[in-house]
Amino acid sequence: MNYIKTDIEGPLIIEPRVFGDHRGYFFESFSLRDFVAHVGPVDFVQDNESYSAKRGVLRGLHFQKGEAAQAKLLRVVRGSVLDVAVDIRPGSPTYGKYVSTVLSGENKRQFFIPRGFAHGFLVLEDDTIFQYKCDNFYAPEAEGSYRWNDPTLAIDWGISPDEVILSEKDSRAPFFEQKSE
């Protein structure tokens, strides 16, 4: 696998080696030995899957606070998403900055986001399946979020706001300046 650094220290884009022929393809989607050698020890304890029926579904920006913070390893099985990580680590030189990448069933890329980041994704194709590993269990009492279209964060989602499909909860998320972390 190829581990690619981003403009922010911590998040990494991971490109697998894909072996294809007339039958289809094969690739190793996760190797603990390889991951630890490039990222360090991370003990994933939970796998999650999200299905989005329509292009324009936007989930996020979510995070967990304190001891419940989560590192995530994300990938798309079918379809595609614009995946976004926002640095919310106090004192970080890139605090409030974001990195993004397109993950798809076609490019088979993965995105590693360490603890201390808010995470969100925009579905770019109908019938998208998104999977991710977490290194901490979900704790609803530690959940936090920021508004997807926060002007301070100024994330370029590449979509018109009237095309975005949000949950009620995400549409009411606080703005970044309200510092809910």
| CATH code, domain carrying 34 | 2.60.120.10
| Helix, coil or strand: residue 32 | helix
What is the structure's pLDDT at 50? Answer: 97
As a whole number of angstroms, the distance between CA 152 and CA 154 comes to 6
CB-CB neighbours of 175 under 10 Å: 14
What is the structure's pLDDT at 177? Answer: 86
Nearest partner of 159 among 54, 75, 88, judged by Cα? 54
Tell me how many domains the chain contains.
1
As a whole number of angstroms, the distance between CA 101 and CA 15 comes to 12
H-helix or E-strand spanning residue 5: strand 2-5
Is the confidence at residue 180, as pLDDT, over 90?
no
Can you read off the two tokens belonging to residue 86?
């926002």
Select which of 3, 22, 38, 62 is catalytic: 62
Can you read off the two tokens belonging to residue 109?
């890329």
pLDDT band at 181 (very low <50, low <70, confident <90, very high): very low
Q: Is 119 a catalytic residue?
A: no
Domain carrying residue 135: 2-178
102 to 59, 105, 142, 178: CA distances (angstroms):
15, 10, 28, 28
83-117 pLDDT, tens per residue?
999 999 999 999 999 999 999 999 999 999 999 99
52-64 pLDDT, tens per residue?
999 999 999 999 9
Select which of 95, 132, 138, 146 is catalytic: 132
| CA quadruple 42, 48, 53, 54: dihedral sign | negative
What is the structure's pLDDT at 17? Answer: 94
pLDDT band at 179 (very low <50, low <70, confident <90, very high): low
What is the structure's pLDDT at 32? Answer: 94
65 to 25, 48, 101, 120, 172: CA distances (angstroms):
39, 19, 24, 16, 18
Q: Is 95 a catalytic residue?
A: no
Is the confidence at residue 20, as pLDDT, over 50?
yes
25 by Cβ neighbours in 10 Å (0-12 / 13-18 / 19+) ranks as exposed
Identify which has the larger pLDDT, 179 or 143. 143
